[in-house]
Amino acid sequence: MRSVRYNEIAPYLHPGMIPLEPTRGEEQVRTKFTFNLINKLKPQAREYEVRDTEIKGLALRVYPTGKMMYTLVYSRGRRVNLGPAHAIDHDQARVLARQELAKHYSGKDPIKERQQVKAKADNYLQFLEDIYKPWLLLNIVNGLATYESLKTSFPEFHKLNLNGITPGLIEKWRLRRLKEGIKPSSINRQMNDLRACLNRAINIWELIKENPFQKVKPCKTDTSPKVRYLTKTEEGRLSKALDDREQTMKDARNRHNEWLAKRGYQPGSAIAPSSFADHLKPAVLLSLHTGLRRGELFQLKWENVDLERKNLTVAGETSRKSGKTRHIPLNDSALGVLKRWKKQRSAVSPYVFHDAEGRPFEGVETSFRGVLREAGITNFRWHDLRHTFASKLVMAGVNLNTVRELLGHSDYKMTLRYAHLSPEHKAAAVKKLVGIQLRG
């Protein structure tokens, strides 16, 4: 394997690339990995590699077949594969590289650890418990829920070797679930979790060579499912319910302080009129005005909130679905909420929404359901706040590609569900036909 010559790759490099010292008469090239660069790299007669400027030792190998593999050289003569470029992008490769380097700097050998991983992967359940679960908890928002789903949804695979999970067995599993009355959409989600699990077994740990899901099709589902979003009336009732809850909590705090004062105790601090009573209202409002997923919202850190430039960044490692970083402009409502919330938060945690110990919230289901009951809103989940954000954008005439970018969808399939949303929106279009006379 040789390093690429500068003149072979120069047309694809940005001005910031850094040529390294010549090695064995050839010239290595180091440059910042970008989508534009990687998409333009072409296979040659012999394999070559390009080094990244951000992570020392991170390289992208390009093979004559066109295959590209991210690798990490963590010590002289010691190299591990991180995954093929068609399975992970350069941001994900950097995350994996940092994890392998952390092992190396702590005195562990990544190659030996991978050998131990292969020795442990005798069956699906053992792989899930000893290898994939720790990876999920470290890399995926709500990774514990994904692990529990993989464990409980596929009991017939527990004693199988990973190579023993065949397309036929998956199809048999799917038919059983359908007969049990499980919704096709739920079955597809469980299959997607298993597909991702086996992809990691291929791309990171190289335990199997082929994913059986390549020959398995998902269950047929409604391609245009009904999307639940807040109507204007419901949005008004939700706003009132949140305000009522805020006032109730503030009144309760004041009454408690009065009770303490009468008995000679030191009263606690009162909630200022301009402050939020707790996290629920600002979290709901921020979701409605940014479209963040719940996991992204509760993993959001203040370092990724730029109040001056009115911008919010969703870091790739906190975006469970796409794993890609995206930027969301803050409108006046979202900006006002964040400014008010930041004023009353202490500096005990880097997270925007956190518990008393500084850890990010895992859920707000109980308090949110209570507000929905008070507002008389039924059949509504936290995720439907995201649907409301997207629906309002589409009905306001925002093009679908912009909506897709704001939501962080990797393609149009998920975004298209919003193209036909509002009955009122359709009615306004059909009204334009009134008065048109047909001629024979």
What residues contact residue 329 under an 8 Å CB cut-off, 6+ apart?
A: 310, 311, 312
CA distance 351 to 303: 9
> What is the enclosing helix (H) or strand (E) of 74?
strand 68-75
Q: Is 383 a catalytic residue?
A: yes
Residue with token string 């009905």? 395
What residues contact residue 151 under an 8 Å CB cut-off, 6+ apart?
A: 125, 128
Q: Is 86 a catalytic residue?
A: no
Q: Are 377 and 329 in contact (CB under 8 A)?
A: no
- Chain Cα centroid distance, residue 430: 38
| φ, ψ of residue 151 in degrees (nearest 5) | -80, -45
Residue type, 199: N
CA distance 208 to 346: 48
SS3 for 338?
helix
CA distance 296 to 167: 34
The residue annotated as part of the active site, out of 46, 383, 413, 426, is 383
How large is the angle between the packed helices 383-395 and 280-290, nearest 10 degrees? 40
Q: Is 418 a catalytic residue?
A: yes
CA distance 300 to 352: 6
Q: Is 51 a catalytic residue?
A: no
Q: Are 202 and 208 in contact (CB under 8 A)?
A: yes
Q: For the chain, how many residues are written?
A: 440
CA 163 to each of CA 102, 206, 358: distance values in angstroms, whole numbers, following the listed order: 30, 12, 42
The residue annotated as part of the active site, out of 281, 387, 409, 417, is 409
DSSP 116-182: HHHHHTTSHHHHIIIIIHHHHHHHSTTHHHHHHHHHHH-GGGTTS-GGG--HHHHHHHHHHHHHTT-
The sheet carrying 48-52 orders its strands as 18-23, 26-31, 48-52, 58-62, 68-75, 78-84
> What is the enclosing helix (H) or strand (E) of 68?
strand 68-75
Q: Is 386 a catalytic residue?
A: yes
Q: Is 43 exposed, middle or buried (0-12, 13-18, 19+ CB in 10 A)?
A: middle
The residue annotated as part of the active site, out of 310, 321, 326, 345, is 321
Please count the other Cβ atoms lying within 10 Å of the Cβ belonging to residue 199: 16
| φ, ψ of residue 263 in degrees (nearest 5) | -100, 10
The residue annotated as part of the active site, out of 61, 177, 195, 293, is 293
The residue annotated as part of the active site, out of 51, 200, 245, 386, is 386
Q: Which residues are catalytic?
A: 293, 321, 383, 386, 409, 418
